[in-house]
Amino acid sequence: MIDNHRKAFVNAEPFSREYVKIDGTLYLLDMRHTLEYGTECMAFECNGLGKVKSVMDVWAKRGIALTKNEFEKCKREFMEDMRRRNHVQN
């Protein structure tokens, strides 16, 4: 499963990408269409230089339209979810 996910991610061109910083942690949001999973909006934790730490996503949403509006919606949902998680942990 992990190898298939990695191949799907690497073989598809990104539709939209953006870096987001939440509580001092940098994330890369990436939206693309893959043959295996359809449209995905995924978030990956990055180091301070913007390099992705792991190909395993920390958040994902699938089965959505491949549009800029949907990407902005994913970004808002991701940020709200991560802030909620961080608030509960603290």
pLDDT 10s digits, 18-54: 999 998 999 999 999 888 888 999 999 999 899 999 9
Residues 36, 58: Cα–Cα separation, whole Å: 19
- Residues comprising the chain, all counted: 90
Residues 44, 52: Cα–Cα separation, whole Å: 6
Instruction: For the chain, give the percent of residues with pLDDT over 70.
Output: 82
Q: Give the other-Cβ count within 10 Å of 43's Cβ.
A: 22
pLDDT confidence band for 89 (50 / 70 / 90) = low
Residue burial 47-86, b: 16+ Cβ < 10 Å; e: rest: eeeeeeeeeebbbbbeeeeeeeebbeebbeebbeebeeee
pLDDT at 7 over 50: no
